Chain A
Amino acid sequence: MRYIRPLSIEDAVGLLAGASGTSAILAGGSDLLVRMKGGFVEPDLIVDIKAIAGLSEIRETADGFSIGAAVPCAVLGENSALKKAWPGVVEAAKLIGSKQVQGRCTITGNLCNASPAADSVPALVAAGAKAVVAGPSGKRTIAVEAVPIGPGKTSLSKGEIIEAILLDSQAPRSGDAYLRFIPRTEMDIAVVSAGVNLTIDEHGVITAARVALGAAAPTVLLVAEAAEALIGRKLDEAALERLAKVCAGACRPIDDKRGTIEFRRKVAGVLARRAATTAYARAGGK
Chain B
Amino acid sequence: MNFDPRFSGRKFASVGTRPIRPDGIDKVTGRARYGADFNMAGQLVGRILRSPHAHAKILKIDTSKAEKLAGVKAVITAADLPDLTDGDAAMYDVLDNCMARSKALYDGHAVAAVAAVDASTARQALKLIQVAYELLPHVTDVDEAMKHTAPLINDTIFTEGLEEKPVKPSNVTKRSQFGHGDVHQGFGHADFIVERSFKTEQTHQGYIEPHACVANVSSDGTADLWVCTQGHFVYRQHCAQLLGLEASKLRVTSSEIGGGFGGKTHVWAEPVALALSRKAGRPVKLVMTRDEVFRASGPTSATSIDVKIGARKDGTITAAEATLRYSSGPYAGTWAEIGAMTAFACYKLDNVKTVGYEVLVNRPKTAAYRAPSAPMAAFAVESAVDELAKELGMDPVEFRIKNAAQEGTRSSYGPVYGPIGIGPTLEAAKTHPHMKAPLGKNQGRGMACGFWFNFGGQTCTDLNIGMDGSVSLAVGTVDVGGSRASLSLVAAEELGIAYEQVKAVVADTSSLGYNDMTDGSRGTFSSSMATISAARNAIKILRDRAAQMWDIPVDDVVWENGHAIAKGEKYGNLAALSLKEIAAASGKTGGPIAGHSELVADGAGVSFATHICDIEVDPETGAARVIRYTVIQDAGKAVHPTYVEGQYQGGAAQGIGWALNEEYIYGKDGRLQNAGFLDYRIPVCSDLPMIDTQILEIPNPNHPYGVRGVGETSIVPPLAAIANAMSNAAGVRMTHIPMSPPRVLAAIEAEREGRA
Q: Which residues of A contact B (CB under 8 A)?
A: 38-39, 181, 183-189, 191, 256-260, 262-263, 266-267, 270
Contact = CB atoms under 8 A, between A and B. Distances in A.
B740 A186 contact: no
Contacts of B291: 38
A260 to B, nearest CB: 5
Contacts of B740: 183
Contact of B679 (A38, A185, A257): A257
Contacts of A38: 289, 291
A181 B123 contact: no
Contact of A267 (B123, B621, B673, B681): B621
A31 B745 CA distance: 32
Given A257-B665, A263-B745, A266-B745, A183 B684 contact: no
A183 B623 contact: yes
B660 A185 contact: no
A184 B681 contact: yes
Nearest to A189: B678
The size bracket of the interface on B is: 20 to 34
A145 to B, nearest CB: 26
Contacts of A189: 678
Given A263-B745, A267-B621, A39 B123 contact: yes
Contacts of B660: 183
B620 A270 contact: yes
A194 to B, nearest CB: 12
Contacts of A186: 684, 686
Interface string B451-470: 00000000000000000000
A83 B77 CA distance: 58
B674 A183 contact: no
Interface in B206-262: none
Nearest to A260: B742
30 contacts: A181-B621, A181-B623, A181-B741, A183-B623, A183-B681, A183-B741, A184-B681, A184-B683, A184-B684, A184-B687, A185-B625, A185-B686, A185-B687, A186-B686, A188-B678, A188-B681, A191-B741, A257-B674, A259-B741, A259-B742, A260-B746, A262-B742, A262-B746, A263-B622, A263-B741, A263-B745, A266-B621, A266-B745, A267-B620, A270-B620
B661 A184 contact: yes
Given A185-B686, A260-B746, A263-B742, 13 more contacts: A38-B289, A181-B741, A184-B684, A185-B687, A186-B684, A186-B686, A191-B741, A258-B679, A260-B742, A262-B746, A263-B622, A266-B620, A266-B749
A60 B652 CA distance: 50
A259 B679 CA distance: 11
Nearest to B289: A38
A185 B626 CA distance: 12
Contacts of B679: 257-258
A188 B681 CA distance: 9
Contacts of A259: 741-742
Nearest to B119: A39
A187 B687 CA distance: 11
A58 to B, nearest CB: 28
A22 to B, nearest CB: 16
Most A Cβ at <10 Å: residue of B123, B623, B660, B661: B623
Majority DSSP secondary structure for residues of A touching B: loop
Given A257-B665, A262-B746, A185 B684 contact: yes
A257 B740 CA distance: 11
Interface string B717-756: 0000000000000000000000011100110010000000
Interface of B: 123, 289, 291, 620-623, 625, 660-661, 665, 673-674, 678-679, 681, 683-684, 686-687, 740-742, 745-746, 749
Majority DSSP secondary structure for residues of B touching A: loop
A191 B683 CA distance: 17
A189 B674 CA distance: 13
Contacts of B622: 263
A27 to B, nearest CB: 21
A270 B623 CA distance: 12
Contacts of A188: 678, 681
Contacts of B749: 266
Contacts of A270: 620-621
Nearest to A273: B620
A183 B626 CA distance: 13
A107 to B, nearest CB: 20
A183 B738 CA distance: 12
Contacts of B623: 181, 183
Contacts of B678: 188-189
Contacts of B745: 263, 266-267
A257 B742 contact: no
Contacts of B746: 260, 262-263
A187 B620 contact: no
Contacts of A181: 621, 623, 741
Most A Cβ at <10 Å: residue of B620, B673, B683: B620
A184 B623 CA distance: 9
Nearest to B665: A257
Contacts of B665: 257
Nearest to A185: B686
Interface pairs A-B: 9 shortest CB-CB? A263-B742, A185-B686, A257-B673, A270-B620, A257-B665, A257-B674, A183-B661, A260-B742, A185-B687
B262 to A, nearest CB: 24
Contacts of A191: 741
Most A Cβ at <10 Å: residue of B621, B623, B684, B687: B621
A276 B164 CA distance: 67
A256 B678 CA distance: 14
A191 B622 CA distance: 13
Contacts of A39: 123
Most A Cβ at <10 Å: residue of B661, B745, B746: B745
B618 to A, nearest CB: 9
Nearest to B741: A183
Nearest to B622: A263
Nearest to A244: B620
Contacts of B742: 259-260, 262-263
Nearest to B688: A185
B176 to A, nearest CB: 34
B536 to A, nearest CB: 50
Nearest to B672: A257
A185 B741 CA distance: 13
A260 B678 CA distance: 17
B730 to A, nearest CB: 15
Nearest to A263: B742
Contacts of A266: 620-621, 745, 749
